[in-house]
Amino acid sequence: MTGVTAAYSLSPRIPRYLRAEQERIERVAREYGLEFFPVLFEMVTYDQMNEIAAYGGFPNRYPHWRFGMDYERLSRSTEYGLSKIYELVINNNPAVAYLLEGNSVTDQKLVMCHVLGHVDFFRNNFTFRATDLDAPGRLVDPMRGQTESYDPDRRWIDKLANHGSIVRRLIDRHGVDKIETFVDTCLSLDNLVDPWLPFVSRTRPSEPQADDVPAPVEVPRFRAKEYMEGFINPEEYLVEQRRKLEAAEARDRGRFPLDPVADVLGFLVEHAPLERWERAILEIVREEAYYFLPQAQTKIMNEGWASYWHSRLMTERVCDATEILDYADNNAAVLATSPGQLNPYKLGVELFRDIEDRWNRGHFGREWEECDDLEEKRSWNNRLGLGREKLFEVRRLYNDVTFIDEFLTPEFAIRHKLFTFEWSNRADRFEIQSREFRKVKEKLLYQLTNRGNPFVDVVDSNHDNRGELLLRHRHEGVDLRADYARETLAALVRVWKRPVCLRTVVEGKPVILRFDGKEHSSRVES
């Protein structure tokens, strides 16, 4: 641990009594079964906290104005007493977490417990395997690191600091305006990533070599005895099929990529005609986007898990009697639900508690599902005691989407008064739409899928045989925000250096939006 500390030159500067608390809390947490990376706590002032938070937790990032904007927003809201950041922890090995100077000891303990929950989640949840820098190749085994000795390379602090110095060097060479504009351009595209990319090993069988003669098309036939062949696979049918397949192949031969690519950023890094410095920046933005992806995919779970553990650790082992009120006060503030709104911390922690309870009492499985007797269900208790085991399994194998999909139950939705709301044009306000479980769940899942982002893929890099890039938006009921879509197309044109088209749906009609570098146009597709 000391060696690691030295390598990071981020020696934990916390007072001795907190250091003692940290050791005690870590010991307790291990007894409960949490497995976390070493954690370096650092004590910072409000100002430093705001600065680090503006940089997304990293003390060294590439320079960009949006960090300054976030900083202004954060420091304004601390100034006005609207909010303050209690804790900040980075998915890094060793993990780095910041404590706010001037917080009470109870608060610091609370933060430490909370942070250990997060770090345990970083280490064990499968989505975060994608941030292992030493993962073999592109294929990351989601189950990697079941063992206790799992100690991946996640030196992201170093990596992001390196990105910072690369960008700074580029700024020295090319001027700040040019670089900043291009960073802006790349950031416009940083949600066009494929969350499953790190886990996909499937690649297409290699294409036939650059022969001019395409391989003959094989028409699949049904298996038939010889004398039945003419009936089961009639000749004219085979000819027609061959024609169709050949036509499709001729069309596909010109098309690249063959299958839609969700990793738009990756596609651009590889195939856009970029200068070296441009490619360097695009790659940096892409890498960081993929780094932050798991956190976006597991927001509810991650916060829920950390909150679950801070409350267990604090109330069962860490707090003494004098502190418990302070703790409860703070905890209530963190988990408060303002009327009508859904607090992800709260939703997560309640779901985890519900899972624990259900698996302790056997509220799962076929027998439970098929039971129609409400009275029996109410008093159902098999005393299985599987809750804890299940909890740890869930934190390892799920992300927000699968978590909600599997563990949100009608009983839970009723108990927590969940509803869906919708914008009412008539009343000019958001209105409660329904309390039907199916709709609540559907809506929640819908919001979480792809982190609330629209699905956009690269479909063709030589659209209309003019070297234009064609993207496809998979419309799922909600239109894109039009002004942003136009500006994003413009950003794509700056990267692709040729006109870019987006196939989408606007007000129920299929439309192709196109930007050629000068003018935006939209054409309704027939």
Partner 1 sequence: MKIDQDHSRFRDIVRGRIRQNLRGYISQGEMIARKGKDRVSIPIPEIDVPRFIHGSRQGGGVGQGEGKPGDPVSGGAPQEGPGGRKAGEGTADHALEVDVTLDELADILGEELELPAIENRGESRIPSEREKYTGIRRTGPESLRHFKRTYREALRRSIAAGSYDPARPIVVPQHDDKRFRSFKASTEPAANAVILYMMDVSGSMGDEQKEIVRIESFWLDTWLRKHYRGLESRYIIHDAVAREVDRDTFFHTRESGGTMISSAYRLAAELIDAHYAAEEWNIYPFHFSDGDNWSMDDTLACIEQLRRRLLPRVNQFAYGQVESPYGSGQFIKDLREHLGKDERVVTSEIRDKDGIVGSIKEFLGKGR
Binding residues for partner 1 restricted to 318-337, rule: CB under 8 A: 337
503 contacts 470 by C-beta, under 8 angstroms: yes
CA angle 125, 269, 60 (to 5 degrees): 60
Q: Enumerate residues 50-79 that contact partner 1 by CB under 8 A.
A: 50-51, 54-55, 59-60, 63-69, 71-73
From 34, 60, 48, 28, select the one nearest 163 (Cα to Cα). 60
CB 213 within 8 Å of CB 236: no
Lay out the site mask for partner 1 across 363-402 (x = CB under 8 A, - = otherwise). -------------------------------------x--
- Strands across the sheet with 87-90, in order? 39-44, 95-100, 87-90
Cβ proximity to partner 1: between 195 and 387 the closer is 195
Q: How many Cα atoms occupy the beta-carbon half-sphere of 172 within 13 Å?
A: 6
Separation CA 469–CA 496 (nearest Å): 7
What does the block give as tokens for 488? 């994003």
- Report 210-239 residues binding partner 1 (CB under 8 A): none
String marking each residue 289-318 x if it binds partner 1 according to CB under 8 A:
-------x--xx------------------
Strand pairing category for 95-100 and 39-44: parallel
Q: Give CA torsion, residues 11, 17, 19, 20, to 10 deg.
A: 150
| Contacts of 451 by beta carbon, 8 Å cutoff, 6+ apart | 191, 195, 293, 296, 297
Of the residues 248, 434, 467, 521, which one makes contact with partner 1 according to CB under 8 A:
434
Binding to partner 1 (CB under 8 A): which residues in 345-364? Answer: 347
CB of 51 to partner 1, least distance (A): 4
DSSP state of 220: P
Smallest distance, partner 1 to C-beta of residue 366, A: 29
| Residues of span 435-494 touching partner 1 by CB under 8 A | 435, 440, 443-444, 446-449, 451-454, 456, 473, 477-485, 487-488, 491
* Cα–Cα dist 496/184, whole Å: 15
Q: How far is the CB of 2 from partner 1 (least distance, A)?
A: 27
Tell me the window of 139-147, 247-255, 286-294, 341-349 that interacts with partner 1 (CB under 8 A): 341-349
Starting at the edge strand found earlier in the chain, the sheet holding 520-524 runs: 455-463, 468-474, 500-506, 509-515, 520-524
Would you say 280 or 456 has its CB closer to partner 1? Answer: 456
Please select the residue that binds partner 1; options are 23, 31, 47, 329, rule is CB under 8 A. Answer: 47
- What's the CA gap between 186 and 492, in Å, rounded? 8
Q: Is 9 in the site for partner 1 (CB under 8 A)?
A: no
Contact 511, 523 (CB under 8 A): yes
* Residue ranges in 166-195 that form contacts with partner 1 under rule CB under 8 A: 176, 180, 184, 187-192
Question: In the bound complex, what is the minimum distance in angstroms from residue 228's beta carbon to partner 1?
Answer: 53
Between residue 241 and residue 270, which ones bind partner 1 under the rule CB under 8 A?
none
CB of 472 to partner 1, least distance (A): 11
* Complex with partner 1: residue 409 or 449, whichever CB lies closer: 449
**In the complex, least distance from residue 252 CB atom to partner 1, rounded to whole angstroms:** 26
User: Alpha-carbon torsion 477, 478, 482, 485, what sign?
Assistant: negative
Residue type at 141? D
Coil, strand or helix at 321: coil
Choose, by CB under 8 A, the member of 239, 411, 421, 509 that binds partner 1: 421
Name the packing angle between helices 387-397 and 105-124 (round to 10°): 70
Q: How many of the chain's residues bind partner 1 (CB under 8 A)? A: 81
Binding region for partner 1 (CB under 8 A) out of 21-29, 361-369, 425-433, 460-468: 425-433
Q: Which is nearer to partner 1, 226 or 483 (CB)?
A: 483
- The smaller minimum CB distance to partner 1, of residues 76 and 244, is found at 76
